[in-house]
Amino acid sequence: MRLTIIIPTYNEAGRIGTLLEEVGAILTQSPEHEWSIVVVDANSPDGTGAIVRDVSTRYKNIHLISEKEKRGIASAYVVGMRYAMEKLHADAFIEFDGDGQHDPKDLRRLAEGLVKGFDYVIGSRYVPGGSIPKEWATYRKVLSRLGSLYARILLELPVYDATSGLKATRTTLDRFLPLREDQLLSRQYAYKLQFLYAVARSGARIAEIPIAFRMRDYDISKSAAGDILESLRVTLLMRFQTLREWRFLRVVMVGATGLAFQAALFQIFGIWLRLLPPSTVVVIAGELAVFTNFFMHERFSFKDRVADSAPFLHKFIRFQTLSTGSVLLQWALVHATEVVVGHAPVYLWIAYLTGVILGTCVIYIGSYFWVWGREPRSAPLTPVDGARGG
């Protein structure tokens, strides 16, 4: 298999020579593959390009692309990817950072994932066996986790680590990828989300392998608040571009039928007739709606996950548990409103609808990850069985 490692650089003179030597030593342990390295240097003023050029005189499989200016990490990777496919005729390319955070030893394991039949292999910090630096500040650990979870939920990505930068991609996926700069939604780190989402939607076989993510050399962080905002923007933009595919809308449609029934009983028996306390009506009507909603989710919202999820009875019990929690949340808000302001319809409706909105989010997330959950795969931990997007 022809494998090309793409390393974008900018001011990495203190590290790049050693890194290339380390990578070269690792690659000699996998002679069954035809390896090449493409360094895309953004006109580094510290002489990074000159060092790479010098090393390439001793290793003929190292190629240097010198850009005229720094245009962003996404642009550098796209240039490297196109070079790998068009000039080196690679079967797959691997994205690898040049700042020391990725371990060269993981390159062979990424290749093993491809050999096992996967199309897209991610070095994951968040599968069992993976890790992030202990030296990271707490806020950085939290932001990393939340960023990945945010993308997983909003884009329904079938992976644990949605923002990893260490990935191997088969070149047969090129028709699904934004390999022209004018197709990129971001020239910065958010490009990773765009590529992952495109691969997941293509139906490619995706796997994750655990990696130990390392501290940057020199401990200089290139991340900033701008990168976080950029990732939020790109994720939302992709979601709106494919809004019709969003499972959440199907969940809302199903929930709306139960909500209409529940709301009617709430108005009639809790507000007009006052036969029962409004908080009690919420519970009774909500539980009646649970039964119809479950069967509609099974047949409509999550029909593509039925075969890969838990047995029918287990799912029903889980959904009942989840829905009961949602109904109790509504009850708590309405009951608290009754205690504080009495039988005031406007405030009761505000409390009720607030509970409905929060409960819908709880049901959607719980249903996606738990009731009809389809666990992401990890290449070395499970048999060859690819996770698909959706």
Interval 198-229: pLDDT, tens: 999 999 999 999 999 987 655 444 456 678 88
Q: Residues 49-55: what's their mean pLDDT?
A: 94
- Residue 375 gets which letter from DSSP? P
Give me 111's structure tokens.
Answer: 């290749």
- Tokens for 50, please give them: 């000159």
Q: Among 81-95, 178-192, 274-288, where is mean pLDDT lowest?
A: 274-288
User: In terms of domains, do 152 and 252 share one?
Assistant: no
* Selection from 162, 106, 95 nearest residue 129 by Cα: 106
Are 368 and 247 in contact by the 8 Å Cβ rule? The answer is: yes
Question: Is residue 147 domain-shared with residue 124, that is, in the same domain?
Answer: yes
Residue-level pLDDT at 105: 94
pLDDT tens-digit map of 312-354:
999 999 999 998 888 889 889 999 999 998 888 899 999 989 9
pLDDT at 388: 42
Closest CA to 352 of 277, 265, 263, 268: 263
Domain co-membership, 240 together with 294: no
Domain match, 133 and 65 both = yes
Is 257 found in the same domain as 232? no
The helix-helix angle for 191-202 and 138-155 (nearest 10°) equals 40
Evaluate whether 193 touches 238 at the Cβ level (below 8 Å): yes
Residue 380, in any domain of the structure? no
pLDDT at residue 97 tops 70: yes
- 253-263 pLDDT tens trace: 998 888 788 78
Does position 386 have pLDDT exceeding 60, yes or no? Answer: no
Q: How many domains does the chain have?
A: 2
Q: CB-based contacts of 242: which residues, under 8 Å, 6+ apart?
A: 201
Which ranges in 116-210 belong to alpha helices (H)?
A: 138-155, 191-202
Mean pLDDT of the chain: 88
How far is the C-alpha of 8 from the C-alpha of 97, rounded, in Å?
7
* Mean pLDDT along residues 54-72: 92
User: Structure pTM?
Assistant: 0.83
**Domain containing 145 — which CATH number?**
3.90.550.10
More confident residue, 99 or 44: 44
Tokens of 228: 């976080």
Q: Are 194 and 185 in contact (CB under 8 A)?
A: yes
